Structure 1
Amino acid sequence: MPDETLILGRVLRYKADPFVEGPGAARVDEALLVRGELIAAVGTAADLRAQAPEAEVADFGDALVSAGFVDCHAHYPQTGIVASWGKRLIDWLNTYTFPEEMRFADPAYAAEVAGRYLDLLLDNGTTCVASFCTIHPGSVDAIFEAAEARSMAIVAGKTCMDRNAPADLCDTPQRAYDDSKRLLDAWHGRGRATYAITPRFSPTSSREQLQALGALWSERPDCAMQTHLSEQTDEIGWVRELFPEAQDYLETYEAAALLGRRGIYGHSIHLTARERDRLHEMGAAVAHCPTSNTFIGSGLFDMGLRDRGLTVGLATDTGGGSSFSMLRTMAAAYEIGQLRGRPLHPAELLWLATVGSARALGLEGRLGRIAPGLSADLVVLDLASTPAIAQRAARAGDVWEALFPTIMMGDDRAVRSVWVGGRRVRS
């Protein structure tokens, strides 16, 4: 019999989609049973004690037990430049991102940053992430190796560029295909690793490179594909100059067979009606990156996309995003929703940070939700982690009112415990 642990607390799990069913889509149970790497059962403390009388008990009192946070769009090589004073997107790339990414030619440096980055995520309750790497294959090996050492689920891939970037960060269409295929063969499906074919965005990839990567995805549709779409208006203008034949930004990917299910399109702020419809029709997903969108001045994401059925996940986009915390990211998503006239309920915010992001990455059947048979990736939140939060939570009339102050004011101090694959990694 695998090791068993009985976790007691306010166990919050989703039985349906709160964007459809409202806050009643979630329920709170007393306990969950972890057996080996998986969740074995959820229910009352008495029932689960009877099922597993020899189980080790981890009692978290009135703390909230949730599925671990899932960050569906980030750039781990930008860990060291997070919160750098910025201008517009292209200036930010040239000033901070590209010089830093050149350092990842050194495998030792890549390994150091990869480990630091994943530890920062775990400190903040994030148990799965989708990350861009750099042009260097060693940067891909580094993040997969670091995740494997921590038993974390991860989606990652070599960032491909062959123009409009420093020469040291450019490859060719053939090299992009060859490197990506070799890395995909080495890592995809190994343990908890998922490979993502990764063109940075259309301005830094020629038509030939996009087509080469589209050909690879057609050969291996079981892997993911991640890129950027319609982040800033001047970026869209640049795409229009580079691809005058395309009717919109999305068509630059669609023409290269880079639009489809398991595709994740970061930002997607300034979409046309056609782009919205095609993303939905093709079963693609978009990543909402609220702290990044405000930090770099990109714009305000339209959560109406989710209401109209498009798959939306939540993401930090570090280091363009200004925080490693999904709590801070949820708070920013709420604030942007207010500015757009679509305030998000706490049930919707937590859904986006767990089930929504897992769905966007094609991992919903494995993680992102508390349910029997899914991976025991969990975060335990102290809903009274600071005096300011505690005094507000004390007035709460239900679990959502108790959780919301932590979403809006919480940080890593609220993360009481983190579990990855059934193993406690933070306490």
Structure 2
Amino acid sequence: MAQMQTVGIRGRFFSFIRAPKGPGDSGSYLYLRDGMLVIQDGRIVAIGPTNEVEGTLPPGTIVTHYERELILPGFIDTHIHFPQTQVIASYGTQLLDWLTRYTFVEEQKYYDPAHCTRQAAFFLDELLRNGTTTAVAYGSVHPQSVDAFFTESEERGTCMIAGKVMMNRNAPLGLTDTVETSYADSKTLIERWHKRGRQRYAVTPRFAITSTQAQLEAAGALLREFPDVYMQTHLSENLDEIAFVQSLFPDSKNYTDVYDRVGLLGPRSLFGHCIHLNEEELQRMADTSSVAVFCPTSNLFIGSGLFDMASTEKSKRPVRVGLGTDVGGGTSYSMLQTAAEAYKVLQLKGQNLPPATAFYMMTRGNADLLSMGGEIGSLECGCFADFVVLDSKATPAMLHRMETIGDMIEEELFVLMTLGDDRAVRATYVQGRKLHDRNLA
């Protein structure tokens, strides 16, 4: 058997051990000012102070040294639309009109497999350029969009979760399927891609407006047939959307109940937005361990409303909350910029988002929501070596601000999330391979 190649990375490392209880909770994370990460066969086999680890390296090990940057687990985006790369920055409407005027027009192009391949390559490279190594992504209604996405992801070695959108009404003919074809196409994609290497499948009814009761029931049937797949959809993003859903499902108690009746709630179910949920809906989300995904840049850009983090903590057990970009309603692929907008949204709600909590959400927190702790989201032995190298002095303004901070790590994190974007991403690694280098881009 051939000996596994060993790779060493030296630098400053930051990774969470558990969720921080608030600002200054240094017991929640590992911070190594001069550390060494050792990688074999794409996974982390050792991490610790350089003076303890360096002597254990096999002779001839190549070590890459990042002298001033900060190395963290790769970012995880729990809500993003792969077919909307050319919808981002579309002017001037709110949700339902925005979908009709821009999104549905663009997504019809994904009938063409060559277009799907070009867009998937751009999308995945853009994620890596922003330090995102795992994402939960929507495809278009076309199965070939998901085939192209997973093919490109497999080539890069990234861990991705995605699914074909199911939608059989209230959309253009070129974007609709049927109950039968949506079930059959989704099942075929699950059997082809779910757990093929690092790829994972998400059953993906777009939202209740574009699926009949029968199609939502078909989505629930897929979850029962394949209980380890994920489910993703949208919930309670816009007030007009909520009213439309109520008119389409008059027998349901509320928007959440539409999904609950067909078995779509659960610990592997991710619901984008969740801005306007009432107490009963929040309690039901908590009781089923369902995930609400906070998408601040999208909520602000489309004018949907302000996410209320405090409301998710009022039930007997908190609602699990993830963080996502929601490109192309969202305005940035950067999880750093997404965290910055999340901070501002919560400030407007009289709440707060400490930098440690924000970075926990986009790394270990999002990994745990996906039941992938121990695989991604941490710099721990056994995890895949997916990590991002961040430069907190990437711009003149960041460098100027950092002159006053020194070695205060949580202050540095706040600078990164407030002033940082793709320019702050020095490099991105997947399974120990450098797939993005800012200096070579």
TM-score category of the 2 structures, normalised to the smaller one: over 0.9
Correspondence for 1:426 among 424, 436, 441? 436
DSSP-derived class of the 1:350 partner: helix
DSSP-derived class of the 2:67 partner: strand
Asked if structure 2 preserves the Cα contact closer than 8 Å seen for 1:19 and 1:307, the reply is no
Asked if structure 2 preserves the Cα contact closer than 8 Å seen for 1:287 and 1:313, the reply is yes
Pairs within 5 Å for 1:91-240: 91-240=97-246
Counterparts of 1:273 and 1:20 in 2: how far apart (Å)? Answer: 25
Pairs within 5 Å for 1:312-351: 312-351=321-360
Q: Give the corresponding residue for 2:370.
A: 361
1:112 to 1:276, Cα distance in 2 relative to 1, 3 A: same
Counterparts of 2:129 and 2:267 in 1: how far apart (Å)? Answer: 31
DSSP-derived class of the 1:7 partner: strand
DSSP-derived class of the 1:80 partner: coil
Q: TM-score, normalised by structure 1?
A: 0.97
Counterparts of 2:151 and 2:23 in 1: how far apart (Å)? Answer: 40
- Equivalent position amino acid for 1:345 in 2: P
The answer to whether 1:26 aligns with 2:29 is yes
- Equivalent position amino acid for 2:292 in 1: V
Q: Give the corresponding residue for 2:409.
A: 399
Q: Compute the displacement of 1:362 (Å).
A: 2.6
1:366 to 1:237, Cα distance in 2 relative to 1, 3 A: same
Q: Give the corresponding residue for 1:266.
A: 272
Asked if structure 1 preserves the Cα contact closer than 8 Å seen for 2:356 and 2:413, the reply is no
1:245 to 1:19, Cα distance in 2 relative to 1, 3 A: farther
Counterparts of 1:198 and 1:380 in 2: how far apart (Å)? Answer: 32
DSSP-derived class of the 2:86 partner: helix
Q: Give the corresponding residue for 1:374.
A: 383
Counterparts of 2:37 and 2:351 in 1: how far apart (Å)? Answer: 34
Q: Give the corresponding residue for 1:51.
A: 56
Counterparts of 1:364 and 1:90 in 2: how far apart (Å)? Answer: 36
Q: Give the corresponding residue for 1:12.
A: 14
Counterparts of 1:280 and 1:21 in 2: how far apart (Å)? Answer: 25
Q: CA deviation digits over 1:7-61, x for unaligned, max 9?
A: 1121001111114796321120222212221111121001111221432211111
Q: Compute the displacement of 1:139 (Å).
A: 0.4
Q: CA deviation digits over 1:246-284, x for unaligned, max 9?
A: 111011011111111100000111111111111111111
Q: Mind listing any 5+ residue stretches in structure 1 that lack a counterpart?
A: none
Asked if structure 1 preserves the Cα contact closer than 8 Å seen for 2:23 and 2:354, the reply is no
Q: Give the corresponding residue for 1:278.
A: 284
Counterparts of 1:27 and 1:350 in 2: how far apart (Å)? Answer: 13
Q: Compute the displacement of 1:304 (Å).
A: 2.0
Q: Give the corresponding residue for 2:307.
A: 301
Counterparts of 1:2 and 1:35 in 2: how far apart (Å)? Answer: 6
Q: CA deviation digits over 1:101-160, x for unaligned, max 9?
A: 100000000110010011011111111111100110100101000101111100000000
Counterparts of 2:312 and 2:374 in 1: how far apart (Å)? Answer: 20
1:307 to 1:375, Cα distance in 2 relative to 1, 3 A: farther
Counterparts of 1:413 and 1:65 in 2: how far apart (Å)? Answer: 15
The answer to whether 1:415 aligns with 2:415 is no
Asked if structure 2 preserves the Cα contact closer than 8 Å seen for 1:229 and 1:268, the reply is yes
Counterparts of 1:119 and 1:246 in 2: how far apart (Å)? Answer: 42
The answer to whether 1:68 aligns with 2:71 is no
Asked if structure 1 preserves the Cα contact closer than 8 Å seen for 2:312 and 2:319, the reply is yes
DSSP-derived class of the 2:102 partner: helix
DSSP-derived class of the 1:208 partner: helix
Asked if structure 1 preserves the Cα contact closer than 8 Å seen for 2:294 and 2:321, the reply is yes
Counterparts of 1:217 and 1:22 in 2: how far apart (Å)? Answer: 41
Q: Compute the displacement of 1:422 (Å).
A: 1.4
C-alpha root-mean-square deviation of aligned residues, in Å?
1.3
Q: CA deviation digits over 1:365-386, x for unaligned, max 9?
A: 3101111101110000011001
Asked if structure 1 preserves the Cα contact closer than 8 Å seen for 2:234 and 2:273, the reply is yes
DSSP-derived class of the 2:282 partner: helix
Q: Mind listing any 5+ residue stretches in structure 2 that lack a counterpart?
A: none
Q: CA deviation digits over 1:184-243, x for unaligned, max 9?
A: 000000011000000000010000000011011111110000000000111111111111
Q: Give the corresponding residue for 2:393.
A: 384
Counterparts of 1:234 and 1:171 in 2: how far apart (Å)? Answer: 24
DSSP-derived class of the 2:39 partner: strand
Asked if structure 2 preserves the Cα contact closer than 8 Å seen for 1:124 and 1:412, the reply is yes
Asked if structure 2 preserves the Cα contact closer than 8 Å seen for 1:264 and 1:361, the reply is no
Q: TM-score, normalised by structure 2?
A: 0.94
Asked if structure 1 preserves the Cα contact closer than 8 Å seen for 2:138 and 2:162, the reply is yes
Q: Compute the displacement of 1:341 (Å).
A: 1.5
Counterparts of 1:155 and 1:221 in 2: how far apart (Å)? Answer: 15
Asked if structure 2 preserves the Cα contact closer than 8 Å seen for 1:82 and 1:319, the reply is yes
Q: Give the corresponding residue for 2:42.
A: 37
Counterparts of 1:213 and 1:393 in 2: how far apart (Å)? Answer: 49
Asked if structure 2 preserves the Cα contact closer than 8 Å seen for 1:394 and 1:402, the reply is no
Q: Give the corresponding residue for 1:256.
A: 262
